[in-house]
Amino acid sequence: MKRTLLLLSTLVILSGCEAEVGTQAWCDNMNETPKSEWTAQVTFDYAKHCVLSDAVGSAQWCESLKDKPKGDWSANEATSYAKHCVF
């Protein structure tokens, strides 16, 4: 039982180390990753967040979201704004 709890705790801690998809850190990391290692979903996410629009958490993204009425924000946008633009 202790071993299982230790394993689960380790997985939770290590999963917190990965950059959130769409953030500037994630985009920078993907720029260094060979394109042959990308999946279709990663390619889609990269195009959506890093090419077609500003990366989540970038200064431009924070400013554009700041100008958007808060009633129009999605739950993900509100969470990302608080995480990357406020703190």
Instruction: Please write the tens of the pLDDT for every residue from 25-34.
Output: 899 999 999 9
CB neighbours of 40 closer than 8 A, spacing ≥ 6? none
In this predicted model, what pLDDT tens digit does every residue of 10-26 receive, in sequence order? 544 544 567 888 888 89
pLDDT above 70 as % of the chain: 80
CB-based contacts of 22, cutoff 8 Å, min separation 6 = 45, 48, 49, 50, 55, 56, 80
Is 75 within a domain?
Answer: yes
> What is the extent of the structural domain holding 29?
19-86
Say if 52 falls within a structural domain.
yes
Confidence (pLDDT) at 22: 85
Residue 40 lies in a domain: yes
Number of independent structural domains in the chain: 1
| Amino acid symbol at 30 | M
User: Is position 8 within any domain?
Assistant: no
* Residue 59: inside a domain: yes
